[in-house]
Amino acid sequence: MKLNGKVALVTGTSTNIGGGIAEGLAAEGAALVCVDARAENASDCARYIKSTGGRAAAVTCDVTDERQVIDAVAAAREAFGGIDILVNSAGISHIGTLETTSETDFDAVFRVNVKGMYNCMAASIGHMKARAGGVILNLASIAASAGLADRFAYSMSKGAVVAMTYSVARDFLDHNIRCNCISPARVHTPFVDGFLRRNYPGHEEEMFAKLAQSQPVGRMANPDEVAWLALFLCSDEAAFITGTDYPLDGGFLRLRG
């Protein structure tokens, strides 16, 4: 049990990626605080972990609200005594160029993907310092490094995630706190299927194949593959790794063309 005795707080547990990471950490012995903006989603995650013999608590929290985040961290302390691992998975996507992204859209993406991550790290870092160490893992995207079409606001937000990751890693080296991020390419989740139904009715299979082939390995990632990398980076097996952005991209950044 790689994480036996550890306490992990994971945001965005309603998603395949966040939920998969939470379940993976729990399977390795961590007590989980499942955080989501919707109470039923957080409860479903915690209920599943408990059904498999794990320990879990559900917390409803809008990560854009500083007070709610502080309360969520306090709930983690009350339930399990503190926080050793923070996984920032909560986020939203947006499709649009600079010209087609409204100020309202831009602000909404920034509030969740950047401010929300800031709130969670800021509320957790003091507790990790008090426990003489910890791990922060942020979910970024290859959009932070690659020029993706129609992803202006989303790319902006994920670029900020990578920059925050580097900064936190550097500033808290002396406190034995590691901070890394994962930058996935396309991951096959219900979001992808919904996007194809809305935008390419009748041509879903054709467009799915096209999106899958944009990764040099010829397919999208599955959520479990993100969870496996997250588990490694949160474990002591990665004790020498901090301040690193891990592309999980099937060769997208380096092997295209």
Domain boundaries, given as residue ranges, for the chain: 7-185+222-249, 188-220
**What are the tokens at 219?**
């397919």
Give the separation between CA 119 and CA 73, rounded to whole angstroms: 11
Annotated catalytic residue, options 154, 166, 200, 246? 154
Is residue 154 annotated as part of the catalytic site, yes or no?
yes
- 224 vs 34: CA distance, rounded Å: 17
pLDDT digits (tens), the chain, 257 positions = 899 999 999 999 988 899 999 999 999 999 999 999 999 999 999 999 999 999 999 999 999 999 999 999 999 999 999 999 999 999 999 999 999 999 999 999 999 999 999 999 999 999 999 999 999 999 999 999 998 999 999 999 999 999 999 999 999 999 999 999 999 999 988 778 887 888 889 999 998 898 899 889 999 899 999 999 999 999 999 999 999 999 999 998 989 86
Q: Report the alpha-carbon distance of residue 69 to residue 116 in Å, rounded.
A: 9
7-185+222-249 has which CATH code? 3.40.50.720
91 pairs with which residues across the strands?
Answer: none
Integer Cα distance of 108 and 129 in angstroms: 31
